[in-house]
Structure 1
Amino acid sequence: MSKAQPTSDRDGDAREGAEPRRAGAFDVRVVIAALIGFYGIVLIIMGLVADTAQARAKTGDVNANLWAGLGMAVVALAFVVWARLRPVIIEPPSDSTDS
């Protein structure tokens, strides 16, 4: 006969040292935040350093690089906050030999 296994085996996991852990840097939201944040910083620098009258005339007297970079930095910050507040929990593999 088969044995009924409890649905929550946290006490057994804690004794074995196999506790659930966070994904951390391998969470896709952190990778997306890093990429968007990097490009945002590049655009902010370009908006502050390479702002010419000719470029502003093309965009209707708006510093497009600066505003786009600031927007991207805010989105990257939102992704980081989201990843910190709602982390992905990785459950340890079950070591069940029953079929």
Structure 2
Amino acid sequence: MSDQHRSDAPDTDEKRSSRHTAGAFDIRNFIGALLGLYGIILTLLGLFADKGYDKTGGVNANLYAGLALVVVAAFFIGWARIKPIVVPEHVEPVDDDPVRPAPKRRGSGH
């Protein structure tokens, strides 16, 4: 009887694979990608371009800002991977709101 009960229970791996996540369209991926791109560009400028120590008080600002942006980008992308946003399977349609400025929906008879 315990074997039958165990086979009827949903498997956690099966349940986990059936859920639908935002994936690449998660806003944290976009933020992480943009910050990472800017971070890589600033890091490369800090390494290879004119350091501009006279403007920054002896600090390589491009290098440090670029490295900080790369770290923050890794945080955002890691956060999106570790805790993905689960999209609900069914969403009820929104009724017309009389105060919204968009055009009203027409009835099915028009």
1:75 equivalent in structure 2: 72
Counterpart secondary structure, 1:51:
coil
Tell me which structure has the larger Cα radius of gyration: 2
C-alpha separation in 1, matches of 2:71 and 2:77: 10
**Higher RCO, Cα 8 Å, sep 6+:** 1
2:28 equivalent in structure 1: 29
Equivalent position amino acid for 2:63 in 1: L
C-alpha separation in 2, matches of 1:27 and 1:41: 21
**What's the CA shift for 1:51?**
2.8
**What's the CA shift for 1:91?**
1.6
**What's the CA shift for 1:57?**
1.3
- The total of aligned residue pairs comes to 76
Q: What RMSD over aligned residues (CA atoms) do the two structures have, in Å?
A: 1.7
C-alpha separation in 1, matches of 2:78 and 2:91: 31
C-alpha separation in 1, matches of 2:61 and 2:91: 52
Q: What residue ranges of structure 1 are gaps of 5+ in the alignment?
A: 1-10, 12-18
TM-score, normalised relative to structure 1: 0.71
Task: Indicate the percent of aligned positions where both proteins have the same amino acid.
Answer: 49
**What's the CA shift for 1:50?**
0.5
Any idea what the Cα deviations from partners look like across 1:7-47, whole Å, max 9, x if unmatched? xxxx7xxxxxxx42111100000000000000000000100
Structure-2 change in CA distance of 1:58 and 1:94 (3 Å) = closer
Structure-2 change in CA distance of 1:29 and 1:94 (3 Å) = closer
1:14 equivalent in structure 2: none
1:51 and 1:63 in contact (8 A); partners too: no
2:105 equivalent in structure 1: none
Q: What residue ranges of structure 2 are gaps of 5+ in the alignment?
A: 1-9, 11-17, 93-110
